[in-house]
Amino acid sequence: MSPAVRRVVVERVADAPEVALPERATSGSACFDLRAAERVVLARGTVTLVRTGLRMRAPRGTFLEVRPRSGLGSKGVLMANAPGTIDRDYDGEVRVPLTYLFDGGYTIEVGDRIGQIRVVEDHPARFVLGRVGPSRTRNGGFGSTGR
């Protein structure tokens, strides 16, 4: 049985050029591509919040997650704060924080794919104080498996 299709309401920001709504590149793609609504030159060592020209509201019981594109990563363009969470109650324009690793600059043009977005189920939880149990061998944190 296939899961129900979630409907994400999207609104274009008035002062931004019209870009395509998020869409999957292929039927097997896990995420929907986000496109730039502005031309920017990314400089080494700085983070630029690249506009998408879109506001969106996640369906009830979900939130949105912005992820980097592997194609940009292979060119030295990384997404800061990846993955980025868009809470259901955020109603501003979605922007993608990009940085460039190399000298010179990297130009993003209007319509370029700059990130990916996905709808994530938000499972209700409550944190309670209690006993976790005996300590195990993997309590060292980062790299604790030795790999």
Q: Mind listing the pLDDT tens digit for each residue in 68-125? A: 999 999 999 999 999 999 999 999 999 999 999 999 999 999 999 999 999 999 999 9
CA distance 136 to 147: 17
CA distance 33 to 61: 22
Nearest partner of 34 among 47, 46, 50, judged by Cα = 50
Neighbouring residues of 26: CB distance < 8 A, sequence distance ≥ 6: none
Q: What pLDDT score does 71 carry? A: 92
Q: Where are the domains of the chain?
A: 9-121
Fold of 9-121: Deoxyuridine 5'-Triphosphate Nucleotidohydrolase; Chain A (2.70.40)
Neighbours of 75 (CB within 10 A): 12
